[in-house]
Amino acid sequence: MTGALESLPQVSGPAAYAASDAASRGRRFEEGRPSYRSEFQRDRDRIIHSAAFRRLEYKTQVFVNHEGDLFRTRLTHSIEVAQIGRSIARALGLNEDLTEAIALAHDLGHTPFGHAGQDALNECMKDYDGFEHNLQSLRVVDQLEAKYADFPGLNLTFETREGILKHCSMAHARELGEVGERFIKKQQPSLEAQLTNLADEIAYNNHDVDDGLRAGLIHIDELREIRLFNDQYEAVCRRYPDLADRRTIHETIRRMINLLVVDLVETSQSNIRAANPASIDAVRHLEHPLIGFSEGVREANLELKRFLRTHLYRHYRVHRMSAKAKRVIKELFAAFMEDPRLLPPEHQDHTRLLEADQGLSGRARAVADYIAGMTDRYAIAENRRIFDPATTS
């Protein structure tokens, strides 16, 4: 997003409605304050050093990991969301460190094989309270990361955990304590959480265009029917008529991202001025979010999303790989549910503990934890190890 926000005024210092260390609701397990960094910097650092974050390098967005080295992974996507999010937060006078922490953690619970993997695991878990990657991300940072002596998980601040949990059913909200209350009370999350949600959308829509073009699954002529793309593409071609194709695409996508970010900042600034919240708690009690696009840009962005759903996500080559991915997930789930002794020893221990507490639902949740933590290539290899007699453990 080079060049984005260059024309926007930067707010000096955090605004009254921004999240701050002093106003934080704290951590689930009390800790001393960090010496040379903020509480939200500590959250970010713990996320970066987590095993779940490292595994994002080999989890994909649309394409399976082995299909090419240049396609986005969940790791590169998360970094891109953090970059866009920090730019927006700075322009709005919000907390950049909290924004970055939420962005880097938002996909920690994603399954291998992107949305196909999530859909398959949710089907497997339909009789056991389902599976949703957003809840799984919170589960990862609250329970599954096993690194620290004094507490389970990463013990992140309430504000980071609030931002990770973008949506939640009422049934789940009642089970989540303080972090689920806003769904019950129909309150808003922090502005940092709101903007990270839209930074995520900006990143994956525009970068899926890039990856789809690179893979040859979508084409320039098709995209030129989409206003958001065509306006920027024509502007690039007029100014740089002899530019190579790949550079033209990059310049077009860069401008699309810039247009969306600038509109988001300016519209959000207007919304914030009109609502004039005095604090982060005032933001939470508003009826509607304050971070958003103008109506025209929102519609243009929806048009792009609909195009990608029809032409990229439902492309027959993507569907073929998705069908294979779902089969891998379902076969693994069925095998581990039938015989948990097939699991590695540490995961057998996790399964025994959950099953002793919750019965068969606990076994299913432990199996889902194991599968959701896999990378694309590990899931494929594990499937071979379980089902191919010629493959050794």
Cα 143 to Cα 219: distance, rounded to the nearest angstrom:
44
Supply the pTM of this predicted model.
0.93
Say which amino acid occupies 373: G
Cα 163 to Cα 171: distance, rounded to the nearest angstrom:
19
Contact (CB, 8 A) for 308 and 208? yes
The ranges assigned to domains in the chain are 39-317, 318-387
Cα 366 to Cα 312: distance, rounded to the nearest angstrom:
33
Place of tokens 């508003």: 286
Q: What dihedral do alpha carbons 192, 193, 197, 203 form, nearest 10°? A: 40
Which pLDDT tens digit goes with each residue over 11-42? 556 799 999 988 899 999 999 988 899 999 99
Tokens (6 digits) for 188: 């808003």
Report the alpha-carbon angle 158-109-47, nearest 5: 55
pLDDT of residue 176 exceeding 60, the answer is yes
What values do phi and psi take at 117, rounded to 5?
-65, -40
What values do phi and psi take at 248, rounded to 5?
-65, -45
Who has greater pLDDT, 13 or 147?
Answer: 147
Range in 113-117, 153-157, 247-251, 353-357 with the lowest mean pLDDT: 113-117
* Packing angle of the helix pair 345-358, 360-372 (nearest 10 deg): 150
Cα 122 to Cα 40: distance, rounded to the nearest angstrom:
32
The CATH code for residues 39-317 is 1.10.3210.10
